[in-house]
Structure 1
């Protein structure tokens, strides 16, 4: 199997994941900024590998499989880091945990839905919608703010709460886009004939 440039970028994004985790926890000055830069770099490679794959017609089965896996891994792990390091164990912390669970749960559900639709030959029905792209942008901005401001110092909490608010909005858009995909697939989901064993 020959690995093309977009797939190398996706692999690079996966390799950035342990780097971000280590930097996130290392006790050096500016580690939060460095972790945010690693996250942004991963987000840029996400856009770049898709752009190059379309522009240079360098699509591959392996790249098509790996790209969404890399995206979901980066978001899920970042959310876990932020929930674990949340400066509050009160309602703010609960809200963060619930929002993270909604986002991760939606990603798992939509991935399972797409896999099932592909199995019955209807994958085109659940293509990425504009609301999904808007959700992704809001989510990425929120995560960058939260990574930068995850320190427990009081001076950081105001911007941290802005990041939390942005993440909640991303969570709402996550539910909205998930319902969009479910509605698109619903005619097949409720069709008993499509669920009969072959």
Structure 2
């Protein structure tokens, strides 16, 4: 197994670590500001999530730069992304920091685009990640980190950064999903 695929696999192994640190409360450090509490375990979860999310770009960069692109990697990378994002979204719903409809919308978009890619792959067409999709991923990571740490440090000044980040995440998720289907409508028409 090459280095890029090992990094992708590491991202999958970090998923339960992120979920565990999110859902199991450790009281070694707690700060409450404006009725919002952030724990040490949430800060650790945010850090692990950021590390895992960062590996998404790293594995692709290494695979392309070192010419290590494999079919296994093409399969594993999007799977790792979906597992990480879905697990954190579901955990945030469980923590009552995210509305279920937001998680459902984002996870549905991920599955829809994956389905489109599978149909395209069956036709021998590769659908690469668009620039808009990369921005979508960035807004998802920012919003989820803000939710994980319960809007800290913005809660100090009462600024609803987490709420604004969720709105941006929803807008970017919808926009990138529509973009994929509009730009690749020929794939759907070919299969019909």
**DSSP 3-state at the match of 2:82:** helix
Instruction: Tell whether the 8 Å contact from 1:106 to 1:178 is kept in structure 2 after alignment.
Output: yes
2:112 to 109, 112, 117: 109
How many correspondences in the alignment?
Answer: 178
- What CA distance in whole angstroms lies between the structure 1 residues aligned with 2:21 and 2:96? 17
2:46 to 18, 29, 36: 36
Q: Write the deviation string for residues 72-107 of structure 1: whole angstroms up to 9, x where unpaired.
A: 1100110001011115xxxxx5xx322211111100
More helix, by proportion: 1
- What CA distance in whole angstroms lies between the structure 1 residues aligned with 2:187 and 2:119? 10
Task: Tell me the equivalent position of 2:144.
Answer: 143
Q: 1:38 to 1:188 in 2, by over 3 A?
A: closer
Question: 1:130: how far off?
Answer: 1.1
Instruction: Tell whether the 8 Å contact from 1:82 to 1:150 is kept in structure 2 after alignment.
Output: no
Instruction: Tell whether the 8 Å contact from 1:149 to 1:157 is kept in structure 2 after alignment.
Output: no
Question: 1:55: how far off?
Answer: 1.1
Q: 1:66 to 1:127 in 2, by over 3 A?
A: same
More strand, by proportion: 2
Normalised to the residue count of structure 2, the TM-score between the two structures is 0.85
Task: Tell me the equivalent position of 2:165.
Answer: 166
Instruction: Tell whether the 8 Å contact from 2:23 to 2:91 is kept in structure 1 after alignment.
Output: no
Gaps of 5+ in 2: 30-39
Question: 1:138: how far off?
Answer: 0.8
1:83 to 84, 93, 97: 93
Q: Write the deviation string for residues 39-93 of structure 1: whole angstroms up to 9, x where unpaired.
A: 0110121121111111111111111110110011100110001011115xxxxx5
Task: Tell me the equivalent position of 1:53.
Answer: 63
Task: Tell me the equivalent position of 1:90.
Answer: none
Which portions of structure 1, spanning 4 or more consecutive aligned residues, are displaced by more than 6 angstroms? Answer: none
Question: 1:157: how far off?
Answer: 11
